[in-house]
Amino acid sequence: MCNYIWYASYGSNLLEERFLCYIRGGKPLGATKTYQGCVDKSLPTAKKGLEIPYRIYFAKLAKIWSGGGVAFIHKEMSASEVTLACMYRISKEQFYDVIMQENGLTQRPEIELDKVIAQGSVILGKAGWYDQLLYLGKQNGEPIFTFTAKELFQPYVAPHESYLGTIIRGIKETHALTDEEIFDYLAVKEGIKNVPLRADLKKLISSKK
């Protein structure tokens, strides 16, 4: 298997500035945690927007994002919905370090990426919330991976505006959508629809550049 992979993010890592805190180290704007970064702090060699055929939802209570929900995707593919994502070309070792930081682990998890490709998904042992790896296909012959939770977390929980604002900035950075299109995309998501946050969503979207 080649040394480079594509990591696809659908949450706050949609925004490159935030994702680079996992690579170089640092504290994301609006968060309360400082990340150590990867052992190899080389920047991604490429990035690209994409749509993945899985449904996004928001759940759990993330202390680093003011106690709001964070993004997950249903692990079953959807025939009718897609989730906006951004993928970054990084080394396998950097990907392991990203998984480690995302899950609050103290050492790199043992992962056989060839097995993930062959099976389509693999559950990580002793991981945090993002304990299932998914294989999404290939870009220029190199595999694309993302991760989510092996179980469906409920209840759904609205994200704090600092976290959702980071996602909005990432969407604007990666996808050529209007503010109205971003609203239509987010307003129906589980964790956002039917909650007070939805009423302020348009204002939040327009405030992010």
pLDDT tens, the chain, 209 aa long: 579 999 999 999 999 999 999 999 999 998 998 999 999 999 999 999 999 999 999 999 999 999 999 999 998 999 999 999 999 999 999 999 999 898 877 777 778 899 999 999 999 877 789 999 999 999 999 999 999 999 999 999 999 999 999 999 999 999 989 999 999 999 999 999 877 777 789 999 998 87
Tell me whether residue 45 is exposed, middle or buried, using C-beta atoms within 10 angstroms of its C-beta: 0 to 12, 13 to 18, 19 or more: exposed
**Residue 1 token pair:** 């298997």
Report the number of distinct structural domains present in the chain.
1
How many Å is the Cα radius of gyration of the chain? Answer: 16
For residue 99, the enclosing domain spans 4-207
pLDDT for 1 equals 57
Are 175 and 16 within 8 A, CB to CB? no
Measure the CA–CA gap between 194 and 81, rounded to whole angstroms.
Answer: 19
The conformational region for residue 90 under phi > 0 = left, psi -120 to 50 = alpha, else beta, is beta
Are 154 and 60 within 8 A, CB to CB? no
Question: Identity (one letter) of the amino acid at 198?
Answer: R
Q: How do beta strands 4-9 and 132-139 pair?
A: unpaired
pTM score, whole prediction: 0.94
Question: Identity (one letter) of the amino acid at 84?
Answer: L
Query: Which CATH number goes with the domain that contains 94?
Result: 3.10.490.10
